[in-house]
Amino acid sequence: MFIGFVEELLVGNNKKNMSEIKKHWEEIYNKSNLNKHTWTQDIPETTLSIIASLNINKDSHIIDVGGGDSTLVDSLLNLGYKNITVLDISENAINITKNRLGDKSQQVKWIVSDILEFVPQQQYDLWVDRAAFHFLRDEKSIKQYANLVNTSLTKNGYLLIATFSDTGPSKCSGLEVKQYNKENLTKVFESGFNREYCVFEDHLTPAHTEQNFIYGLFKHRQEGLIPSHNLTEDRFVKCQNSIVLDSETSCNIENKGCCCD
Protein backbone atom coordinates (compact mmCIF):
# COMPACT_ATOMS: atom_id res chain seq x y z
CA MET A 1 0.00 0.00 0.00
CA PHE A 2 2.79 2.39 0.99
CA ILE A 3 4.83 1.48 -2.10
CA GLY A 4 1.85 2.17 -4.32
CA PHE A 5 1.40 5.56 -2.68
CA VAL A 6 5.06 6.43 -3.24
CA GLU A 7 4.86 5.38 -6.91
CA GLU A 8 1.76 7.51 -7.35
CA LEU A 9 3.52 10.45 -5.74
CA LEU A 10 6.55 10.07 -8.01
CA VAL A 11 4.38 9.89 -11.12
CA GLY A 12 2.53 12.99 -9.99
CA ASN A 13 5.77 14.86 -9.35
CA ASN A 14 7.15 13.83 -12.74
CA LYS A 15 4.02 15.12 -14.49
CA LYS A 16 4.29 18.36 -12.54
CA ASN A 17 7.96 18.74 -13.49
CA MET A 18 7.17 18.07 -17.16
CA SER A 19 4.38 20.63 -17.05
CA GLU A 20 6.76 23.22 -15.60
CA ILE A 21 9.40 22.44 -18.22
CA LYS A 22 6.86 22.80 -21.01
CA LYS A 23 5.74 26.14 -19.58
CA HIS A 24 9.38 27.25 -19.40
CA TRP A 25 9.96 26.58 -23.11
CA GLU A 26 6.63 27.97 -24.23
CA GLU A 27 7.51 31.25 -22.51
CA ILE A 28 10.95 31.35 -24.12
CA TYR A 29 9.59 30.93 -27.62
CA ASN A 30 6.63 33.20 -26.96
CA LYS A 31 8.59 36.15 -25.56
CA SER A 32 11.99 36.00 -27.17
CA ASN A 33 13.31 37.16 -30.51
CA LEU A 34 14.79 34.35 -32.60
CA ASN A 35 18.01 36.30 -33.04
CA LYS A 36 18.54 36.30 -29.28
CA HIS A 37 18.84 32.53 -29.04
CA THR A 38 22.49 31.67 -28.66
CA TRP A 39 21.88 28.29 -30.28
CA THR A 40 20.78 29.98 -33.52
CA GLN A 41 22.48 28.62 -36.63
CA ASP A 42 21.71 30.13 -40.03
CA ILE A 43 22.61 26.83 -41.69
CA PRO A 44 23.38 23.79 -39.48
CA GLU A 45 26.45 22.91 -41.53
CA THR A 46 27.95 20.33 -39.17
CA THR A 47 24.69 18.38 -38.94
CA LEU A 48 24.10 18.51 -42.69
CA SER A 49 27.66 17.39 -43.39
CA ILE A 50 27.24 14.35 -41.14
CA ILE A 51 23.87 13.47 -42.67
CA ALA A 52 25.32 13.78 -46.18
CA SER A 53 28.10 11.35 -45.24
CA LEU A 54 25.48 8.66 -44.48
CA ASN A 55 24.23 8.55 -48.09
CA ILE A 56 20.77 7.63 -46.89
CA ASN A 57 17.84 7.54 -49.30
CA LYS A 58 15.77 10.71 -49.67
CA ASP A 59 12.75 8.62 -48.67
CA SER A 60 14.36 7.75 -45.33
CA HIS A 61 12.33 8.53 -42.23
CA ILE A 62 14.07 11.25 -40.22
CA ILE A 63 13.05 12.66 -36.85
CA ASP A 64 14.47 15.90 -35.45
CA VAL A 65 14.00 15.70 -31.68
CA GLY A 66 13.84 19.09 -29.96
CA GLY A 67 13.78 20.68 -33.41
CA GLY A 68 12.15 23.85 -32.08
CA ASP A 69 12.70 26.77 -34.43
CA SER A 70 15.81 25.20 -35.95
CA THR A 71 16.41 25.62 -39.68
CA LEU A 72 17.47 21.99 -40.06
CA VAL A 73 14.05 21.05 -41.40
CA ASP A 74 14.29 23.85 -43.99
CA SER A 75 17.60 22.48 -45.23
CA LEU A 76 16.40 18.87 -45.33
CA LEU A 77 13.35 19.83 -47.37
CA ASN A 78 15.51 21.84 -49.77
CA LEU A 79 17.75 18.80 -50.18
CA GLY A 80 14.78 16.67 -51.16
CA TYR A 81 14.18 14.57 -48.03
CA LYS A 82 10.52 13.55 -48.02
CA ASN A 83 9.71 11.92 -44.66
CA ILE A 84 10.64 14.37 -41.93
CA THR A 85 9.20 14.53 -38.43
CA VAL A 86 9.93 17.43 -36.06
CA LEU A 87 9.25 16.94 -32.35
CA ASP A 88 9.43 19.62 -29.69
CA ILE A 89 7.93 20.18 -26.26
CA SER A 90 7.02 23.74 -27.26
CA GLU A 91 4.05 24.34 -29.54
CA ASN A 92 5.18 27.98 -29.88
CA ALA A 93 8.54 26.81 -31.27
CA ILE A 94 6.88 24.53 -33.79
CA ASN A 95 4.50 27.29 -34.87
CA ILE A 96 7.46 29.60 -35.49
CA THR A 97 8.94 26.99 -37.84
CA LYS A 98 5.62 26.26 -39.53
CA ASN A 99 5.11 29.97 -40.23
CA ARG A 100 8.63 30.27 -41.61
CA LEU A 101 8.15 27.31 -43.94
CA GLY A 102 4.73 28.42 -45.17
CA ASP A 103 3.16 25.86 -47.53
CA LYS A 104 6.22 23.61 -47.17
CA SER A 105 5.18 22.91 -43.56
CA GLN A 106 2.52 20.56 -44.93
CA GLN A 107 5.31 18.22 -46.03
CA VAL A 108 6.44 17.73 -42.42
CA LYS A 109 4.94 15.69 -39.57
CA TRP A 110 4.81 17.84 -36.42
CA ILE A 111 4.68 16.43 -32.90
CA VAL A 112 4.31 18.48 -29.71
CA SER A 113 5.52 16.28 -26.88
CA ASP A 114 7.98 15.90 -24.07
CA ILE A 115 10.46 13.34 -25.37
CA LEU A 116 9.94 11.08 -22.35
CA GLU A 117 6.20 10.97 -23.08
CA PHE A 118 6.67 10.32 -26.79
CA VAL A 119 5.19 7.06 -28.11
CA PRO A 120 6.46 6.54 -31.69
CA GLN A 121 3.96 5.22 -34.21
CA GLN A 122 6.73 4.13 -36.59
CA GLN A 123 10.45 3.46 -36.77
CA TYR A 124 13.00 5.94 -38.06
CA ASP A 125 16.12 5.57 -40.18
CA LEU A 126 17.76 8.62 -38.62
CA TRP A 127 17.20 10.14 -35.19
CA VAL A 128 18.67 13.63 -34.81
CA ASP A 129 18.87 15.35 -31.44
CA ARG A 130 20.85 18.55 -31.22
CA ALA A 131 20.96 19.57 -27.55
CA ALA A 132 17.60 18.31 -26.28
CA PHE A 133 19.05 15.16 -24.70
CA HIS A 134 21.48 17.05 -22.46
CA PHE A 135 18.58 18.48 -20.43
CA LEU A 136 18.01 14.98 -19.06
CA ARG A 137 20.22 14.76 -16.00
CA ASP A 138 18.99 11.87 -13.84
CA GLU A 139 20.00 8.32 -14.68
CA LYS A 140 16.41 7.06 -14.97
CA SER A 141 15.50 9.64 -17.62
CA ILE A 142 18.75 9.09 -19.52
CA LYS A 143 18.19 5.32 -19.58
CA GLN A 144 14.56 5.82 -20.66
CA TYR A 145 15.73 8.02 -23.53
CA ALA A 146 18.38 5.51 -24.63
CA ASN A 147 15.80 2.70 -24.61
CA LEU A 148 13.39 4.85 -26.62
CA VAL A 149 16.00 5.51 -29.29
CA ASN A 150 16.98 1.85 -29.38
CA THR A 151 13.41 0.70 -30.05
CA SER A 152 12.55 3.57 -32.40
CA LEU A 153 15.31 3.09 -34.98
CA THR A 154 15.34 0.66 -37.87
CA LYS A 155 17.79 -2.23 -38.00
CA ASN A 156 20.59 -0.19 -39.59
CA GLY A 157 19.38 3.19 -38.40
CA TYR A 158 21.57 6.06 -37.25
CA LEU A 159 21.53 8.22 -34.15
CA LEU A 160 23.07 11.68 -34.44
CA ILE A 161 23.17 13.36 -31.06
CA ALA A 162 24.74 16.66 -30.04
CA THR A 163 25.23 17.93 -26.49
CA PHE A 164 27.42 20.44 -24.72
CA SER A 165 30.85 18.90 -24.32
CA ASP A 166 32.62 18.68 -20.97
CA THR A 167 34.27 22.01 -21.83
CA GLY A 168 30.98 23.60 -22.89
CA PRO A 169 28.42 25.53 -20.82
CA SER A 170 26.79 23.95 -17.79
CA LYS A 171 23.44 25.70 -18.26
CA CYS A 172 21.14 26.40 -21.17
CA SER A 173 18.27 28.86 -21.06
CA GLY A 174 18.40 28.92 -17.28
CA LEU A 175 18.30 25.13 -16.96
CA GLU A 176 21.11 22.86 -15.80
CA VAL A 177 22.41 20.46 -18.43
CA LYS A 178 24.56 17.35 -18.39
CA GLN A 179 27.86 17.73 -20.23
CA TYR A 180 29.42 14.86 -22.16
CA ASN A 181 32.73 13.67 -23.51
CA LYS A 182 33.21 10.91 -26.06
CA GLU A 183 33.50 8.18 -23.46
CA ASN A 184 30.41 8.87 -21.37
CA LEU A 185 28.26 9.71 -24.40
CA THR A 186 29.26 6.41 -25.97
CA LYS A 187 28.51 4.54 -22.75
CA VAL A 188 24.91 5.83 -22.66
CA PHE A 189 24.08 4.31 -26.05
CA GLU A 190 26.48 1.41 -26.54
CA SER A 191 23.99 -1.23 -25.37
CA GLY A 192 22.35 -0.87 -28.79
CA PHE A 193 24.74 1.20 -30.91
CA ASN A 194 28.26 1.34 -32.26
CA ARG A 195 29.95 4.72 -32.36
CA GLU A 196 30.94 5.77 -35.86
CA TYR A 197 32.77 8.99 -34.96
CA CYS A 198 32.52 12.25 -33.03
CA VAL A 199 32.72 15.85 -34.14
CA PHE A 200 33.60 18.68 -31.76
CA GLU A 201 32.16 22.02 -32.78
CA ASP A 202 33.08 25.44 -31.45
CA HIS A 203 29.82 27.29 -31.97
CA LEU A 204 30.22 31.07 -32.01
CA THR A 205 26.92 32.51 -30.85
CA PRO A 206 25.31 35.70 -32.19
CA ALA A 207 26.53 37.37 -28.98
CA HIS A 208 30.14 36.39 -29.83
CA THR A 209 30.49 33.82 -27.06
CA GLU A 210 31.83 30.36 -27.80
CA GLN A 211 30.12 27.09 -26.93
CA ASN A 212 31.71 23.70 -27.45
CA PHE A 213 29.45 20.87 -28.62
CA ILE A 214 30.13 17.19 -29.14
CA TYR A 215 28.29 15.45 -31.98
CA GLY A 216 28.17 11.69 -31.72
CA LEU A 217 27.17 9.56 -34.71
CA PHE A 218 26.02 6.06 -33.74
CA LYS A 219 24.79 3.13 -35.83
CA HIS A 220 22.21 0.63 -34.63
CA ARG A 221 23.84 -2.69 -33.80
CA GLN A 222 22.27 -6.09 -34.35
CA GLU A 223 20.93 -7.50 -31.08
CA GLY A 224 23.35 -9.86 -29.34
CA LEU A 225 26.53 -8.48 -30.88
CA ILE A 226 29.15 -6.85 -28.69
CA PRO A 227 30.03 -3.14 -29.13
CA SER A 228 32.45 -2.48 -31.97
CA HIS A 229 33.23 1.21 -32.18
CA ASN A 230 34.80 2.74 -35.26
CA LEU A 231 38.30 4.09 -34.62
CA THR A 232 37.85 7.03 -37.00
CA GLU A 233 39.57 10.13 -35.65
CA ASP A 234 37.47 12.89 -34.15
CA ARG A 235 36.83 16.00 -36.21
CA PHE A 236 37.02 19.58 -34.98
CA VAL A 237 35.05 22.37 -36.63
CA LYS A 238 33.97 25.94 -36.01
CA CYS A 239 30.54 27.39 -36.70
CA GLN A 240 29.74 31.08 -36.91
CA ASN A 241 26.45 32.86 -37.55
CA SER A 242 25.92 35.81 -39.82
CA ILE A 243 23.44 37.13 -37.22
CA VAL A 244 25.18 39.36 -34.71
CA LEU A 245 23.73 40.82 -31.53
CA ASP A 246 24.54 44.35 -30.46
CA SER A 247 24.99 45.35 -26.82
CA GLU A 248 21.29 46.14 -26.43
CA THR A 249 20.11 42.71 -27.58
CA SER A 250 22.92 40.63 -26.18
CA CYS A 251 22.04 37.38 -24.52
CA ASN A 252 20.90 37.46 -20.91
CA ILE A 253 18.69 35.22 -18.85
CA GLU A 254 16.23 37.97 -17.96
CA ASN A 255 14.94 38.36 -21.51
CA LYS A 256 14.34 34.58 -21.77
CA GLY A 257 16.38 34.52 -24.95
CA CYS A 258 19.55 33.24 -23.38
CA CYS A 259 20.86 29.77 -23.98
CA CYS A 260 23.69 29.76 -21.51
CA ASP A 261 25.10 31.76 -18.66
What was the pLDDT predicted at 69? 86
pTM: 0.81
What domains are defined for the chain? Answer: 2-255 (3.40.50.150)
What was the pLDDT predicted at 251? 39
- The DSSP secondary structure of 135-198, one letter per residue, reads G--SHHHHHHHHHHHHHHEEEEEEEEEEEEBTTS-SEETTEE---B-HHHHHHHHTTTEEEEEE
What was the pLDDT predicted at 210? 80
What was the pLDDT predicted at 27? 79
Give exposure, 159-174, as e/b (b: 16+ Cβ within 10 Å): bbbbbbbbebbeebbe
Low-confidence ranges of the chain (pLDDT < 70): 1-18, 24-25, 31-41, 206-207, 224, 239-261
- The DSSP secondary structure of 61-77, one letter per residue, reads EEEEET-TT-SHHHHHH
Residues across the chain: 261
Do the Cβ atoms of 116 and 92 come closer than 8 Å? no
What was the pLDDT predicted at 13? 38
Please report how the helices 139-152 and 182-189 are oriented relative to each other, as an axis angle in degrees rounded to 10.
60
What was the pLDDT predicted at 1? 47
What was the pLDDT predicted at 163? 94
